[in-house]
Amino acid sequence: MKDKRKRIIPDNNGIQAKILGFLYKTRPGRKLLKVLTMPCVSKAAGYFMDSRFSQPLIKPFIKHNNINMHEYEKCKYKSFNEFFTRKIKKGYRSFSENSEDLCSPCDAKLTVYNITDNSHFMVKDTYYNIKSLLKSSKLAKYYKDGILLVFRLGVEDYHRYAYIDNGKQKKNYKIPGVLHTVHPAACNGLAVYKENTREFSILDSENFGKILMMEVGAMLVGRINNYNKETYTLRGQEKGRFEYGGSTVILALKKGTATIDEEILNNSMYGYETAVQMGSVIGKKRFS
């Protein structure tokens, strides 16, 4: 049975959009942003989210975001981060048994891009090209004319992610986040330029060639928790989890390795995201 797809319409007038607009496009917001992204402030926020003092935030968060807790293992959470990284019940995020199916690594809103010299990708409200995203000319050249799949996790989503195929994972590469003030002549004097904290590794997979899998966190402090360095992987095996502040997974596939579901491609073409779940089929292996 084909998975039911939900098209996500961008909300450019929502609360989050208004907050981001204030932080990145106004002078008071820009000053506040510099304070919020100071390492000491970010570290203090992390300590709070890990402490028992954050526990009262859990119930209102569940209610506000309509999270179905029946899907998750029953547990008394000692902190907000313990709740945020909650584990789903066995059987709720099963991967297709057909090894030729390309499956989603996580619960998310998916956008697909073609990788070209001129293409740009929106990741956590920042535009990248393939070279600036990976910080590697060699990798950018390798994945040119391939496809980039951007999985944006909402706060209501399951914040663990999995390997999409059997294979061998090579080492993890970390790219720290940065925040720059943009010169007034460039952006009306009221903007900032940012890059988010990122980690990626290459998976030599059985069915989809060399897959680049990247996790994207918040600026400066990413809260990305990957479990393995170099290891052999199994399809559907948990790769890691996001603590509060990390929320995007990216896959780069080499040209000719996979065909993406037509409905997902059409949604992406018209600027819509597609809601997917970990393990759901989003494409097929492409045979030469």
Nearest-angstrom CA–CA distance, 1 and 30:
49
CA geometry: angle at 234 spanning 72 and 206, to 5°?
A: 140
Choosing from 42, 247, 268, 280, which is the catalytic residue?
247
| Tokens, residue 5 | 């797809």
Would residue 11 show up in a list of annotated catalytic residues for this protein? no
Instruction: Judge whether 212 and 255 are in contact, CB under 8 Å.
Output: no
Choosing from 42, 54, 79, 107, which is the catalytic residue?
107
Nearest-angstrom CA–CA distance, 37 and 54:
20
Bridge partners of 169? 203, 231
Nearest-angstrom CA–CA distance, 59 and 77:
11
Would residue 107 show up in a list of annotated catalytic residues for this protein? yes
Nearest-angstrom CA–CA distance, 144 and 200:
17
| DSSP code for 275 | E
Amino acid identity of 107?
Answer: D
Cα distances (angstroms) measured from residue 198 to each of 92, 111, 205, 214, 253: 28, 18, 21, 7, 18
Who contacts 159 (Cβ-Cβ below 8 Å, separation ≥6)? 84, 85, 153, 241, 242, 243, 246, 247
Q: What are the residue numbers of the active site? A: 107, 247
